[in-house]
A and B are shown apart, each in its own frame.
Chain A
Amino acid sequence: MPTSRATPGSARPRWPEVIDPEPKPLLDAADVGRALTRIGHEIAERNKGTADVVLVGIHRRGVPLAARLAAKLTEIEGRPVPAGSLDVAMYRDDIGLRPPAATHDTSLPSDLNGKVVVLVDDVLFTGRTIRAALDALVDFGRPRAIQLAVLVDRGHRELPIRADYVGKNVPTSMAQDVQVQLTETDGADRVVITAGASMDASMEASA
C-alpha cells in the first residue's frame, strides 16, 4: 500500500504555479527497495511459490527491475527464477504516427508455454505499452497466465489494463511526468514527479 510522503516542516509545492527546481523524490532508494521486496512476496504468495514463474522486464527500466525481482524471489523461495527482457518497439500502436522507436534486445526463455509470465515495468500510465507487450508475448508462446508488476501506477489508463502488483499508486495530472531512476540505468534509485512538458496521451517514450 502506498505510504505517505509528507516530510515535517517542508512546504508542499503548489501545483501548477510553482515548478520545483529540485523535485523532491516521491520514493527514495530505500522506498524502492522495500516496494520491490513487498512485490516479490506478493508474487510468491499469489502464485503459491515460483514454480513456472518467469519474469519479463519491459525495456527499458523494466529490465533491471525484473532482474532485481528475480533475485529477490530466488532468495525468498530458494529456487532460481528466470528473468528476461522484452522490447515492444515492434508492437506499438503508434507506428507511423511518430518516428520509429529505437529497438532493444529481446531475450526470453524460449518456451513460455504453460508458464506464468510476470511482466515488469517501471511506470504504468496509459496501458498501451502493456497492450503491446501482451501482443509480443503471445507471439512467443502461450503462457498459462500473464500478470503485471509495476513500480508506480500513475493512473490515466486509456485501455482496460490493470496491474496485479503495484509499488506505489501515484495520482498525477496529464501535465506531470513520473521519472523512475534506477542505479543500473541512472546511477541511483529514486522516483520523482516533475512538471513535464508532455501533454501527450500516448505511450511514454521510455515505457
Chain B
Amino acid sequence: MNKHLLSAGDLTAGDIRLVLDTAGHLAKLTDRAIKKVPTLRGRTVCNLFFEDSTRTRISFELAAKRLSADVINFTAKGSSVSKGESLKDTAITLEAMGVDAIVIRHPASGAPVRLANWVKAHVVNAGDGTHEHPTQALLDLYTMRQHFPSFDGLRVAIVGDVLHSRVARSNVLALKTMGAEVTLVAPPTLLPTSVDQWGVGVSYDLDAVLPKTDVVMMLRIQLERQSAGFFPSVREYARLYGLDARRLDAMPDSSIVMHPGPMNRGVEIAAEVADSIERSVIASQVSNGIHVRMGLLYLLLGGPAVTEPGRLPEEVPA
C-alpha cells in the first residue's frame, strides 16, 4: 500500500486484493454485539469535507469509529472558485493538531494531491472534483466480488456521464488492474476526448452492450448538464441510456446492477430496477462501503508512522 490513497491507479492488484480480503474479515464485526475493535485506539482521523456528502462522510466516520479511532469532522463550504488558502491553512491547522489521517472530499480535482504536499498525515481521497473516488471503486469491486468468483474477464459496463465522473475514472483504473473487461457507454458528449487511450471498450448503444454484461454500473446524470448542451433533454437521455425493466431483462440472469448513488430514479435508472431484489446490489454497496473503508484505514494506519510518501513498509512473511 502507498502512504496516501489519492488515485485508484496507486493500488496494485495485490493492494486491491489485500484491502478486499481485510474488508471481508472486518465485515463480520457487524454480526457481533460489540461492533468495535480497539485496533486504531489513539489515532485520529479527520473527515475534511468541502462538499456536502452525508453518505460518504458517515461511512468513513463509522469505519474509523469501529476501529476505535477518534474522528474529527471538518465541514467547510469551499467552492472551487473561492480562495483556497482555506485548504492550505486548514492543512496546517490539522497538522498542528496532530491528526493521523485526513479523509478529504473537495470540489477541485487534485486537491488531495496538493494536500499531501502540506501534511505528514495519511491522505485519503474521498472524491476530488471530476478526478477520482478510489474508495468508491474499492467498495464497488468488493461488491462485484460478492457475486462473481473472479475479476479476470469480468464484463463490466459503466453507463452515463463518464466525462464528469470520478467514480468512473477510479473504477476503470481498478478494474483494469484486476483484469476485468470494461466498456463505457455514453453519448459522445459525455465521454472524455482521449477515452480511446484508456484501454476500454466504448459504445454509444446501451442495448448492444447489455446482453454481454455481467455488471452494469449506472452513473448519476446531473440534470444541469442539459443546459450546457451535453444532451438535448432528460427524456431523450433516459430513453437512450436509462436502465429500465426491459433492458434489465435483456441482461444475463446472473448479472447485477450497481449505482454509486444518489440515484435519479426514472432517469438513469428505473425505480423497479433499483429496487429489484434479485439483481440490484445498490443497498449492499452502502454497507460494503463501511467494511472497505475499515479495511483501508487499518492497512494505512495500523503500521508505524511514516514521514515520506510512497510504499508503506510491508510485513515480512513468517
A, B co-complexed: yes
Q: Check A140 against B32 for contact (C-beta < 8 Å).
A: yes
A99 to B42, alpha carbons, bound, how many Å?
Answer: 17
Nearest B residue to A60, CB-CB: B318
Q: Check A95 against B25 for contact (C-beta < 8 Å).
A: no
A103 to B174, alpha carbons, bound, how many Å?
Answer: 22
Q: Check B25 against A87 for contact (C-beta < 8 Å).
A: yes
Q: Check A99 against B34 for contact (C-beta < 8 Å).
A: no
Max count, chain B CB within 10 A of own CB: residue among A91, A104, A139, A141: A139
In chain A between 89 and 107, which residues have their CB closer than 8 angstroms to a CB of chain B?
90-91, 95-107
Contacts of B153 in A (CB 8 A): none
Tell me whether A90 and B28 are in contact in the complex, defined as CB-CB below 8 angstroms, given that A96-B303, A97-B304, A99-B314 are known contacts: no
Residue B49 lies at the interface, judged by CB distance under 8 Å to chain A? no
Contacts of B36 in A (CB 8 A): 139
A136 to B38, alpha carbons, bound, how many Å?
Answer: 9
Partner among A98, A140, A141 whose Cβ is within 8 Å of the Cβ of B303: A98
A105 to B21, alpha carbons, bound, how many Å?
Answer: 9
Partner among B18, B28, B303, B317 whose Cβ is within 8 Å of the Cβ of A107: B28
A206 to B318, alpha carbons, bound, how many Å?
Answer: 6
Contacts of A104 in B (CB 8 A): 25
In chain B between 303 and 318, which residues have their CB closer than 8 angstroms to a CB of chain A?
303-305, 312-315, 317-318
Contacts of B21 in A (CB 8 A): 102-103
Q: Check B25 against A100 for contact (C-beta < 8 Å).
A: no
Tell me whether A100 and B302 are in contact in the complex, defined as CB-CB below 8 angstroms, given that A91-B39, A105-B25 are known contacts: yes
Contacts of B295 in A (CB 8 A): 103
Max count, chain A CB within 10 A of own CB: residue among B38, B295, B317: B38
Max count, chain B CB within 10 A of own CB: residue among A95, A98, A100: A100
B22 CB, min distance to chain A CBs, angstroms: 5
Dominant secondary structure at the B interface: loop
Contacts of B302 in A (CB 8 A): 95-96, 99-101
Residues of B in contact (CB 8 Å), total 32
Residue B33 lies at the interface, judged by CB distance under 8 Å to chain A? yes
A110 to B30, alpha carbons, bound, how many Å?
Answer: 12
Contacts of B33 in A (CB 8 A): 139-141
Residue A204 lies at the interface, judged by CB distance under 8 Å to chain B? yes
Residue positions of A touching B, CB distance < 8 A: 87, 90-91, 95-107, 110, 135-136, 139-141, 204-206
| A-B residue pairs in contact (CB < 8 Å), sample of 13 | A90-B67, A95-B39, A96-B305, A99-B304, A99-B313, A102-B21, A103-B22, A103-B26, A106-B25, A136-B37, A139-B37, A140-B33, A141-B33
Question: Closest 9 interchain pairs by CB?
Answer: A100-B302, A205-B318, A90-B37, A103-B25, A139-B34, A99-B315, A99-B303, A90-B39, A206-B318
Residue positions of B touching A, CB distance < 8 A: 18, 21-22, 24-26, 28, 31-34, 36-40, 43, 67, 295, 298-299, 301-305, 312-315, 317-318
